[in-house]
Chain A
């Protein structure tokens, strides 16, 4: 049976990595993800895993070494945050283009500057077009579960893409909470043996990877890569279903919380979703028909399913813990609004950028959003489409 534990988010992720026992982990410390390689190097030092741990000299080299190792045929993991991923940036695109299913917990932190070590989603959102699958976690349990599922999703023959497992820096990474772990043998059995369709260390079939790709062929390779992301939607659903059989925990592209009969709802991801659920409960107790949609899978983006889930609402607010600097709302807002376009009758929609650089999100903040949504629903007028929540005005 499940193992009852209490772990911080970082410990949860590191524990999943320990149970998976990948071939190679190459990582460089950066707050708040530092503990992940720390824990993992301890497992290596104590012989709890027999992974090759490569303590590289930078995040750029971390992702480069992951690429080399995954290309060689290994199962590979790393972890980072914000500027660390910023330094990896060009390699993120190469990892996905090379079809290398690297798994990377991204402990979300604000991208400098000014320098800030606290949580927001600007790191993950900036990488949304890099070709990585992006899973978001509400708490340590989801971070753990996502890390295990990420291996199966990324390595699936129809996908072969790298996967980012996002969890909120400090709020989840450094908060100790209850968690249910799976037995290690069950985890190993679930992820199975790595099997790359082609790899550098295949003696019989040497391959060349990362060629110069001129206009005659590059587009076809990008199209093939895009197909993997289409395929990932199906594979993610299959892996979620398999994982439910194993753990009893049911996951889907997004979680609908009291959404069925709601008139207004908030779309949010990460740890704020938990805080928002407590607000939904309170407002429901007051008689307000409010609901919540927590996005778990951001790339691939479940556009059609999302539109279906939101279509009955009068008004929707999308909360972004990142500024897109588009002057037209946050990044998730733009995707959600686009997803709703094909509906005959669409809910009104507003954007809230919130919580940047670790600004704490209080229940009163979220109540404010619901109250403003109620106004939009009542009047049918969006007077303020682009909003900043919790900024000192």
Chain B
């Protein structure tokens, strides 16, 4: 399903300007792209976990959301929205709601990979007709760049600082999309905002309009936390994909499919060197850390290729 970007510009903008996310924030680009996949006539209930996207888009007395919005806490966006979805079913059955409403949840990697994982897992397992979108910027950016289980190995964060003895975060990142795929829900996908937004749009549309629970894991670069100049947003995203740091795939009814394969797989170094959070890896004597990371990237990429029937 090809996307005509020009036509999409005629869709209503569901996230307005006037929010207070950072200049160049990847999260709002992701949120706009997902919301654009809603049919213009459909209503949405947007639930957001505490995090950058929430505290910046809904500051009393302003909301940047054109649809109904709810935030309740950090670790429970899955449960909160599943409650709203249950209410919709009941109220629709009882004739108190007429329109079609869709339920879309956003959480950062903190609210999704870590503190909110139980609530997310519960909501997915129960089969609510909702979409959970993780905008993954690889750390707790809202509270000042603390490490999360989505933070890449060796990244310098405020709770995994690159010191004289320990070179940044010691652990590899958690593979959340696979965990969600193991829930055997109808649709799981990993994507990013890139190119003409065909991939993210198509996946958001599938996620929203597939009956039952769906999960999207979306790379959302953070200029502040990753330490790059704001105009580089799209370039960094492309490097994440072309180095195979961020594989683009989907799992539809259990079938894995690779949606993007770089023409030339770039060394991970290319992705790392443009971000300040990895600058210590390029200091003398740290070459082996980059090599270690490359090995892990290659190993994971092979697994993805195998799952997707690409080898």
Answer yes or no: are A and B bound together in one complex: yes
In the complex, are the beta carbons of B73 and A214 less than 8 A apart?
no
Task: Give the chain A neighbours of B91 by CB distance below 8 A.
Answer: 23, 72-74, 201
Q: Given A57-B118, A212-B59, A23–B87 Cβ distance below 8 Å?
A: yes
On chain A, the residues within 8 Å of B118 by CB distance are 57-58, 61
The proximity string for B residues 62-99 relative to A, scoring 1 for CB distances below 8 Å and 0 otherwise, is 01011111111101101111111111111101101111
Provide the residues of chain A in CB contact with B195, threshold 8 Å: none
A162 to B49, alpha carbons, bound, how many Å?
A: 22
- A213 at interface by CB-CB < 8 Å: yes
Given contacts A58-B118, A60-B75, A61-B119, contact A201 B55 (CB under 8 A): no
User: How far is B108's CA from A131's CA once the two chains are assembled, in angstroms?
Assistant: 29
Best-surrounded residue of B59, B84, B94, B96 (most CB of chain A within 10 A): B84
Q: Are A213 and B84 closer than 8 Å at their CB atoms?
A: no
> Interface centre among A55, A67, A74, A214, by most B CB within 10 Å?
A74
Does A91 lie within 8 Å of B61, measured CB to CB? Answer: no
In the complex formed, the residue of A with least CB distance to B82 is A65
| Inter-chain contact A91/B60, CB cutoff 8 Å | no
**Chain B residue with Cβ nearest A198:** B68
Within 8 Å by CB of B87, from A57, A201, A212, lies: A201
CB atoms of A57 and B125 under 8 A apart: yes
When each residue 31-62 of chain A gets 1 if its CB lies under 8 Å from chain B and 0 otherwise, what string results?
Answer: 00000000000000000001110111110111
| Nearest residue, chain A, Cβ from B75 | A60
Query: Would you call B266 an interface residue if the criterion is a C-beta within 8 Å of the partner chain's C-beta atoms?
Result: no
* Least CB distance, A171 to chain B, in whole angstroms: 32
Question: A129 to B61, alpha carbons, bound, how many Å?
Answer: 26
B73 touches A213 (CB 8 A): no
Would you give the shortest CB distance from B260 to chain A, in whole angstroms?
Answer: 34
Contact of B122 with A by CB under 8 A: yes
CB of A61 within 8 A of CB of B79, answer: yes
Considering the complex, give the chain B residue whose CB is closest to the CB of A54. Answer: B86
Q: How far is the CB of A88 from chain B (nearest CB, A)?
A: 10
Among A133-141, A149-157, A202-210, A326-334, the one that faces the other chain is A202-210
B73 to chain A minimum Cβ distance, whole angstroms, is 6
Would you give the shortest CB distance from B111 to chain A, in whole angstroms?
12
A201 with B80: CB separation less than 8 A: no
Which residues from chain A contact B43 at a C-beta distance below 8 Å?
A: 201, 203, 206
Contact B73 A90 (CB under 8 A): yes
Partner of B83, one of A57, A68, A210: A68
B119–A211 CB distance below 8 A = no
B109 within 8 A of A: no
Shortest C-beta distance, A120 to chain B (Å), equals 28
Beta-carbon contact of A208 and B69 below 8 Å? yes
Sampled A-B contacts (16; CB under 8 Å): A23-B90, A57-B122, A61-B82, A65-B80, A69-B86, A74-B87, A90-B73, A200-B84, A201-B68, A203-B98, A206-B68, A209-B71, A210-B71, A212-B60, A213-B60, A214-B59
Residues of A that sit less than 8 Å from B by CB: 23-24, 26, 50-52, 54-58, 60-62, 64-74, 76, 90-91, 94, 98, 200-203, 206-214, 217, 221
Known: A23-B91, A68-B70. 10 other contacts (CB 8 A): A52-B89, A67-B83, A68-B84, A69-B86, A71-B72, A72-B84, A72-B88, A76-B83, A207-B69, A209-B71
